[in-house]
Amino acid sequence: QKEVEQNSGPLSVPEGAIASLNCTYSDRVSQSFFWYRQYSGKSPELIMSIYSNGDKEDGRFTAQLNKASQYVSLLIRDSQPSDSATYLCAVIYYGQNFVFGPGTRLSVLP
């Protein structure tokens, strides 16, 4: 099965800063990309989906997709302590189902 890689954490940022989370994948044919947030002991929650090159903004969150370089990133502006969680990148590879990365743990320090 193809892999999805994420920058290893934990990532610590001060409150109010921008948190940048990165994800790389291995197949240029992939069309669907997702970011999920998972709090400890809880189930993953969908934050963003992105299907085409460029940026997609939703509130404080911006997803960026670059298919030529095969990476997708998530920016969190004005980070809050409540954003502290593990962020999972997921890719649907052609002919396969959702493949999740190992996750990056984010800590936002008050």
Partner 1 sequence: NAGVMQNPRHLVRRRGQEARLRCSPMKGHSHVYWYRQLPEEGLKFMVYLQKENIIDESGMPKERFSAEFPKEGPSILRIQQVVRGDSAAYFCASSLDRNTEAFFGQGTRLTVV
Contact set with partner 1 (CB under 8 A): 1, 31-32, 34, 36, 42-46, 49, 88, 92, 96-103
The minimum distance between CB 32 and partner 1, in angstroms, equals 5
Nearer to partner 1, 45 or 55 (CB): 45
Nearer to partner 1, 89 or 108 (CB): 89
Q: How many CB atoms lie within 10 A of CB 9?
A: 15
Nearer to partner 1, 18 or 32 (CB): 32
The minimum distance between CB 14 and partner 1, in angstroms, equals 25
CB 11 within 8 A of CB 76: no
C-alpha dihedral, 109 to 63 to 47 to 81, nearest 10°? 10
Smallest CA-to-CA distance from 67 within 104, 98, 30, 36 is with: 30
